[in-house]
């Protein structure tokens, strides 16, 4: 049976939330559903983006994308950017 891909999109905007985001990524990655894509959108924070990327690389997570929203601020804008970066399969 071929299971549909699920894309989980979350956004974050400050470095003090790095621990929360990495715990969220760990929790999602530990789910039993295998066809999962995790997209994390950061808002104008290169430090946060790099911190998340380091966590992803150190854990070998292949199903996680990190996208930095440099253009527009706001939750809706970040969610829309995440949707545009979803694989849609």
Residue 41 has a pLDDT of: 92
Residue with tokens 């545009």: 84
Q: What is the pLDDT of residues 9-59, one digit of tens each?
A: 998 887 788 899 999 999 999 999 989 999 999 887 888 889 999 999 999
* Residue 1: pLDDT band with limits 50, 70, 90: low
Residue 84 has a pLDDT of: 92
* pLDDT of 68 strictly over 90: no
Residue with tokens 């970040």: 78
Sheet holding 36-43, edge to edge: 6-12, 36-43, 64-69
Q: What is the pTM of this model?
A: 0.87
């Amino acid at each position: 049976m071929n299971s549909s891909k699920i894309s989980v999109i979350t956004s974050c905007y400050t470095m003090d939330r790095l621990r929360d985001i990495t715990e969220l990524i760990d929790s999602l990655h530990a789910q039993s559903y295998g066809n999962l894509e995790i997209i994390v959108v950061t808002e104008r924070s290169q430090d946060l983006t790099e911190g998340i990327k380091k966590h992803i690389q150190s854990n070998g997570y292949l199903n996680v994308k990190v996208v930095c929203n440099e253009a527009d601020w706001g939750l809706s804008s970040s969610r829309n950017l995440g949707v545009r970066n979803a694989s849609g399969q």
